[in-house]
Amino acid sequence: MKVSWDAPAELNGPPPLYHVERTDVSLSDAQGQVIKGRRFTGSGSFRFSSSTLPVNTDFTGLQLSFRTRVEEGVMLFAVSPGEQEEYVALQIHNGRPYFLFDPQSSAVALSPRNDGGRRYNDNQWHHLIATRKQAVGTIIVDNQYSGSASATSGSTIIGQNTGVFIGGIPENFTLLRQDTGQAQLVQHGFAGCLRDVMVQKSSGTTEVWEPLDWESALEKHETYESWEGCPAVSEDGAYFLGHGFLKVKPEIFTGGDYFEISFEFKTDQLNALLLFAYDVDGKDFILAELQGGVLFWLLRWGEQTAELSVWVGLSYCDGGWNTLSVLKRGLLASAGLNDVYEQERKGMGGPLTISSPLYVGGVPPGVVHPALNKHSLLHGFGGCIRDVRFARGPVVSLAAVSSSAVRVNLDGCLSADTSVNCRGNDSILVYTGRDRSTEDLTLQPFTEYLYRVMALGEGGWTAGPWQRGRSRETVPQSVLPPSRVESVNGSSVEVSWEEPAEVRGVIEKYVLKAYSRDRPFSSLISATFPHSQHLTGKGHAVRLELGSETFLPSCSVWALRDLSTILIA
């Protein structure tokens, strides 16, 4: 891994000495299968040039395949400069895909009408086609569900845009549009996977469609690379990489005299800040943290302070699922982890006021509070959180109630149930020097890591934020010969094979080759087949055309990945 960084914005002295620190991502699974696609975690986005969509035209055409488990998320968005009178968007709203467009003063929102109101956030692949011809828009999903509607303003041209955003809208982007109902843009980034994104470039008797060139993006924010792929298998939940946080919208949790917060989590961390929130104008706060086998639940309302410690041992950080519940009921405070509970009664009840966001899994660097200084190790949570409930209400999705997340993947949790050992603050130093780049040569293949840079000078030291990175893939291992070769006719055979047993990375395609046993030095017959993503983990079968001459073939399969080729048999 190559790590590079800029000098501090203000040196305040001679050039500093740099330390580069590395730590493992929590519950990382380099063996997990990945498939071809562009992964979005709910907080990442790309910005492409305005010319990505044809401008000053009476047509729009977009195609893509998507897979998601969340109910809300922007997949694509482009808006005109100035008053933002025109826009085009693809989004998931209430679990359904929508095509939005406005050629001025007439916003249109399209979703399939003949699908019985089904939801598409089922973590399965769906294909979407959205087109506009003058004022008429059409959406088609999975080649069978469709809907259409027309703009009524009389305008048919959509002009310039400020850039095309894929995956979400950056926090610093100001949205001026005041759309309502289904035409309103959702305020969440997309969490899931996209592939096969196509843009219509011309209309008329012959339509021209071109694939989106991901490498042409002008800006990238918290994005995954194409070679990293998408997890083939995942489960519900928010995945905290470590040293990050999730910020819940302030209106979701405001405290009170009676409240309860519960959720399930799994982690490999011995120490982790789980929950923190406070009153901006007062002294009230709540804080839940794991420290050395103990769950601490601290809260203050008025002049009352409750401090509970629940000894549960080290079983909570073995990678298995745990159930946590913390509550306040009048003058009673209680905390429990895996059916071990403690409670404390104070002399007086009363409401506990919370006006800050509820922070889950850590706090931003700018949050300063006496309770954090006194009680917390400020070690961010790493692992997975799911089934969050407030006041024993329905399960809420952290993707739906969060306003921002840093180093948190909202597209689901890795489903590997492997036993792990408890980790402390196990970061290691990988570089010391005055250069502003280094290479880390001690990594495992296709594994995620977190890095940060510290700058040291005569007056002290400071550290930058953690940054995620992944080491590159390796060639597949333990590859078997074709499992079946069966003659179809005199000039073709059907060949079956199993996926390699150990793959760290995305298999792009297979190359099947055959030669004549009677004439081993004759030219090889070769055919290329894309990796069947819907058959991940299963066998593959294709027909190989051998030509007009009949001979007994001997087949081999090559699995091709980025910069890698391996002979399977």
Q: Which residues of 188-221 are buried (b: 16+ CB within 10 A; e: fewer)?
A: bbbbbbbbebebbbebeeeeeeeebebeebeeeb
Average pLDDT over residues 85-109: 97
- Check whether 568 has a pLDDT greater than 60: no
Residue 387 — φ and ψ, nearest 5°? Answer: 55, 50
User: Mean pLDDT score of the chain, rounded to an integer?
Assistant: 90
Rg of the chain taking only CA atoms, in angstroms: 27
Q: Please tell me the predicted confidence (pLDDT) of residue 535.
A: 38
Which residues are within 8 A (CB) of 251 and not within 5 positions of it... i.e. 6 or more apart? none
Residue 535 DSSP class: G
298-302, 332-336, 343-347, 538-542: least confident range? 538-542
Average pLDDT over residues 297-313: 96
45-54, 480-489, 523-532: least confident range? 523-532
Residue 290 DSSP class: E
Q: Please tell me the predicted confidence (pLDDT) of residue 258.
A: 96
- Among 455, 503, 515, 543, smallest CA distance to 18 is for 455
pLDDT confidence band for 527 (50 / 70 / 90)? confident
pLDDT confidence band for 5 (50 / 70 / 90)? very high
User: From CA 102, how far away is CA 516, in angstroms rounded?
Assistant: 61
- Check whether 216 has a pLDDT greater than 60: yes
263-272, 283-292, 423-432, 559-568: least confident range? 559-568
User: From CA 512, how far away is CA 262, in angstroms rounded?
Assistant: 53
Quick: pLDDT tens for 187-204: 899 999 999 999 999 998
User: From CA 509, how far away is CA 500, in angstroms rounded?
Assistant: 12
Query: What is the pTM assigned to this prediction?
Result: 0.90
To 10 degrees, the CA torsion angle through 217, 219, 223, 227?
30
Q: Beta 358-360 vs 234-235: how paired, if at all?
A: unpaired
User: From CA 547, how far away is CA 494, in angstroms rounded?
Assistant: 14
Residue 306 — φ and ψ, nearest 5°? Answer: -115, 135
Residue 370 DSSP class: H
Q: Terminus-to-terminus CA distance in the chain, angstroms?
A: 32
Q: Please tell me the predicted confidence (pLDDT) of residue 532.
A: 62
- For residue 256, the one-letter residue type is G
Which residues are within 8 A (CB) of 356 and not within 5 positions of it... i.e. 6 or more apart? 250, 277, 278, 279, 280
Average pLDDT over residues 220-238: 93
Would you list the DSSP string of 409-470? ETT-EE--------B-S--EEEEEESSSEEE---PPTT-EEEEEEEEEETTEEEE---EEEE
User: From CA 52, how far away is CA 326, in angstroms rounded?
Assistant: 50
More confident: 539 or 499 = 499
User: Percent of the chain at pLDDT above 70?
Assistant: 93
**Integer angstrom CA distances of residue 451 from 195, 202, 397, 410:** 29, 45, 29, 21
Please name the helix (run of DSSP H) or strand (run of DSSP E) that holds residue 375, with its range, or none. helix 370-375
Would you list the DSSP string of 63-125? EEEEEES-S-EEEEEEE-STT---EEEEEEETTEEEEEEESSS--EEE--SSSTT----SSS-
Q: Please tell me the predicted confidence (pLDDT) of residue 547.
A: 57
**Residue in the structure block whose two tokens are 């990293």:** 228
Cα diameter, the chain: 94
Contact criterion met (CB below 8 Å) for 64 and 75: yes
User: From CA 402, how far away is CA 115, in angstroms rounded?
Assistant: 30
- Check whether 265 has a pLDDT greater than 80: yes
Average pLDDT over residues 209-228: 96
- Check whether 109 has a pLDDT greater than 80: yes
More confident: 478 or 402 = 402
Q: Please tell me the predicted confidence (pLDDT) of residue 567.
A: 35
Would you list the DSSP string of 147-190? EEEE--SS---B---S-EEES---TTPPP-----GGGSPPSSB-
- Check whether 335 has a pLDDT greater than 50: yes
- Check whether 442 has a pLDDT greater than 90: yes
- Check whether 418 has a pLDDT greater than 70: no
Would you list the DSSP string of 224-256? --GGG-EESSEESSEEEEEEEEEEE-TTT--EE
pLDDT confidence band for 227 (50 / 70 / 90)? very high
Q: Please tell me the predicted confidence (pLDDT) of residue 561.
A: 45
Contact criterion met (CB below 8 Å) for 147 and 113: yes
More confident: 541 or 232 = 232
pLDDT confidence band for 343 (50 / 70 / 90)? very high
User: Percent of the chain at pLDDT above 90?
Assistant: 72
pLDDT confidence band for 62 (50 / 70 / 90)? very high
pLDDT confidence band for 557 (50 / 70 / 90)? low
Average pLDDT over residues 15-43: 92
Q: Please tell me the predicted confidence (pLDDT) of residue 501.
A: 74
Contact criterion met (CB below 8 Å) for 162 and 174: no
